[in-house]
Structure 1
Amino acid sequence: MRLRWKFFFILLAFSLVPMVVLTGINRKHVERLGRAIAAEGRTIMEDVVKNELRQTAEDFSLVMRRSKSALDFSLSMLAIEAERALFAPQAPVVPLPGPPDTPQAGVARPLLANAGSGRLERLASLAPTMALLRSELGDIVHAAAVTLEDGTAITFPNRPDLPADYDPRQRPWYRAAKAAVDPQNPAAPGVIWNDAAVDAATGQLTLTLSRPLLAPHGRFIGVASLDVPVDRILQGQEIASQWSQAMRAFLVAPQYDPHTGRASLAVWARQTNGEHARDWKSAVNFERLTSPDTAALTALVATMERDRSGVAELAYNGEPSFWAFSRLLQGASLLIIVPKAMLAPLAEQTSQEILAATDRIVALSGAAMAVVLFAVVLAAFCSTKAFVRPLLNMIEAWKRLGSGDFNVRLTDRAGDERQSLIDAFNETVPVLADHVRLQRSLELAQEVQRNLLPAAPPAIPGLDVAGASLSCDETGGDYFDYRAVRRGDEICLDTAVGDVTGHGVPSALLMATARALLLATEDSETPAQRVCRANRLLCCDVADSGRFMTLLAMEIRPQQGVARYVRAGHDPALCYDPILDTFTEWPGNGLPLGIEPAYAYAEQGMPFAGVGQVLVLGTDGIWEARDPAGEMYGKARFREVVRRSAGLPAAGIVAAVLAELAAYRGERRQEDDVTLVVVKRV
């Protein structure tokens, strides 16, 4: 028998006592519970309706936002075609149709009397594009137009009913698109959705989409626009719901009375809105949705401004209703209102069904409980203590393992999945012991490697020195050192920064070997002599292993104001002069250590005498660090943080670089060792 069945019966056995007690209690309270559930039915149904209404509003708003995306894309394409028609080297020139008194469907015509004929002929070639937009978008688009700054303007379809004093360049949508153009940025701004305004010809409340047109060098030359009647936003869609007959849908925008500060909702459109013939020169006087419960309405308006969707309970036309909204545009939301009275038949039906179900539960509870009790007794009779003994032994073994006893083993035998647990435990213990021993060894290696690095910088007159190294694993392959050496009567700084290929224990061992070889030299030797000797000996250790080490060894003589150094395949030292605000990469070349034993390393010299100059020596773990998106830190950011912190002591510069690097890396794991040495002239 499988383990899951055995546990099933055991659980039934442990349920016997509480089941017997609860049987009598539950039987008395079932009917009371049924009545309570029925009383709560209306509240539950109200919550269901609220969720349904909010979901309906969100779904409908999503459909309308997709229509908005299609309009944005269409207007962008129209603007691109207009710019191409105006400025393409071989832009097609389409002859204008006949005089305006013989309009033709699907042909663009000039709106302004002072329109330039040359540009107008080029814009006339947009007639097929505008006709295609109208055919694809349907009657949701009232008109498409292109208006140029010099007065040239065309529209599709023809609009002979526009007033004689109508100048599109004075309309808010034109001015908003023109104001959005940044002379410093040649890229055209995106599509702008302007507030609802009255159409000059039809008197309809209209939303105008506008997008600026730019010359090839980014100069503003005009605006492409689409006019969308506000009422079409609602009338062009179907709200699918089982309560659709009782629903009222509006497009509203929060509004506050400037005198009283009282909140209300301005109705931009409703499903049955057929109101037209407004004055296009005057401000729009929107219909308002109000409620006697001003506090609840104020809270709803605040929620609309804060959240994308929600539901509230307010009176509409004197009848308690649910108000569900979902944000559609920046300043407008879709609002659906449903009277609460529609819930009465549904709530009554729910209550009757709950009471009938309660009666059936009471009738069947006796027989069902008898069957369950019989099954529980049978399971208890079949259960034995032997079933749980292996589990108890496993628990005891885990406790011993947790206390550090790696000799513990399980000897139980079982014929089900418990045997797999026993075998897995016995196989895991020795592996875990090996991991613990390895971890302790790595901790010891990490401590040893940490002790190999200098504990504190040397005190050298004229120089401020600091350094740090961070390993990405327990041990690393980066190396740095600095010490004071005497050259005659002068105390000099002997420093080095190295990077072994890879990281981890093998790289740490090679780093320790290279350190010993570099230090096992006479103080009288030059950097080139020390590097040549270390390279020759290191090649004997790493021959045919494919490993090597890059190194930058340097000796700085502060009294002479000069630095002598050797580059063995390492990144160049970087010197920053705060007076000139310049960075200099010190030149030099050479093979990494461990490749060619007879290679002769050349020594370079550079001046380092200016007070305040900062010399930084680092490994590629700094500029090759990556942020969570995978972008490299780079040397440009590295130089910038050195520039910002150049006024700090050397230790402060090191801390600033490491802090900047950690912030840039964020949650991403460090992938390579990081080492930095800073020398500052003081």
Structure 2
Amino acid sequence: MRLRWKFFLILLGFALVPMLVLTHVNRRHVERLGQSIAAEGNAVISEVVKNELRQTAEDFSLVIRRSKSALDFSLSMTVAETERLLFAPPLPRQDQGGHETPSVGVHVPMGVRPDTVALSRLAGLAPTAGLLRHELDNTVLFVAVSLEDGISVAFPAREGLPPDYDPRQRPWYKAAKAAFDPKRPTAQEVVWNDPAVDPATGRLTLTLSRAVVGPGGRFVGVASLDVPLERVLQEQEIASQWSQAMRAYLAAPVRDPATGKRVLYVWARRDDDATARDWKSAVNFEPLTSSDAAGFDAMLAAMERDASGTAELPLNGVPSFWAYARLMRGASLVIVVPTSMLDPMAEQSRREILAATDQIVRLSGAVMAAALFAVALAAFFSTKAFVRPMVRMIEAWKRLGVGDFTVRLDERLSDERQALVDAFNETVPVLADHVRLQRSLELAQEVQQNLLPAAPPVLDGLDVAGTSISCDETGGDYFDYRVVSRGGAVCLDTAVGDVTGHGVPSALLMATARALLLATEDSETPAGRVRRANRLLCRDVGDSGRFMTLLAMEIRPGEGIARYVRAGHDPALCYDPARGVFEEWPGTGIPLGIDPDYAYTEYTMPFTAPGVVLVLGTDGIWEARNEAGDMYGKARFREVVAGASGLSAAGIVAAVLDDLVGFRGSRRQEDDVTLVVVKRL
């Protein structure tokens, strides 16, 4: 396949794959975004519903409080009218505004003789009862007055009262009587009693009662209003705004004496089975609770603290919204609506959002397809013009690869490819120079390696080994050892040196110093040889700032002594395996190449004990660092030498180098390493 078509297919692939991936990613992202928006919409709808439900609870709580105030006033007005009719002179009958006058129902318990005068006077309450029932929109089921002697009247008449009915035994009568305060006969309170079953109708009612006070502040009876429970809760009006599954309660947070836990005591609720109740039995509602104990406790705490609020808790296992608003005497109106009422709204919102996101995906897909077609056309017509210079560049690189440094490109392009052409033309001569320099360095490395000893000398009584490893192609470390005869004695002449820096300049200075030391080998003493080499080296290095440290030594095994000169170099280390002790041989002196007139001092140390190991090295060993930046150090160097002291001199050198490589790990060698070991046999 021709390069043009390959390039076309590559461009097409590079365009096609990202677009397909982008389309797929965009589709998934938009779908996820739609689902996220739908979920967020559900959360927003849920929050709106809770706020609306709370507002509904507040509104209906306000209505109920106003109804309560109206009922309290109505009962107080009934009591006042009853007291007037019973104990005040009769007044002329007044028109009650054309309202229907309810029938009068009289009840006298068995064995009680009725007071006909009182009954006649109480019948006069009919117009007032009719007015109250009309003004309260029939919220009041019965208006009644029950006297202490047992007789009672009700408006309208109660049909079907049980024969054993005695109002004086009803809880509402007893509560009003218990609340009667003879010290304050004109300031009696209206008592709201717990729900009860009306004995005449069987309906669940709330009864308001208040004491009737006679002359002298004596208790004579109780006036009462019976209100159907559903009218108090107004559940049908609330349900019409929400859901028929909605439930309304009058409840108060209390602490259950049996368990010690806080519960929501239901004071009033709508009960569809109320007609089946016995009128004598008390109406006991189950405490209102939730399976989410923590959330329920939090709501109870909020009800005691806040006037209104909302919560989201299950009721009888059904997830529900709860709203509450404070009503009276610690009680609150609680409205509970199943969260399932949101399902139709949430589903409609989800469908609309997903439809919109699907339309966005289809539109983006069409745009991607059009863009892909345009890219394909552009790639087809541009590949030929683009590939031609590339082919010529490839041919030029091939010629350069076989060593033709005369090749050049003469292309003249108007885009970034011209930078490639210019870079190629500039790189070729630089690359040629690098190749020449590399060849020169390889030659210098070969020459420097030839300057170092090829093999250790053989001398009775001594085992000698040494090595030098450069960190670059060439290095600045130097070592040498050879057998010489001086004064009729056979000697080992050895030296270790370290030129500042490394690389080609250091290698040149090392070669110069080696030549100078070899030129002075006939001098009488080591100190004389070093002084002469220093004087000649100072003349060569001048003001270059370069210098060389040196440890030059002459070992005479027959005499058992070592004579040496330290010129700024680290001291020689002598290890005695018999005693397990290292000894640094003393000595002072400045490096070579600094002061031409410096007088170097010669030192003499004994070297007779069998097995003694003498080590001469450069700082490239103990200053080496590992990957963590830790330094090798002389302590570790000594441990390795001591551990390998039983080996030959070459074995000791190998042990040090192996440990150094293992310590350094993957970190590059940063300085030249040189080591000479002389072991006494």
Q: TM-score, normalised by structure 2?
A: 0.48
| Higher Rg of the two aligned structures | 2
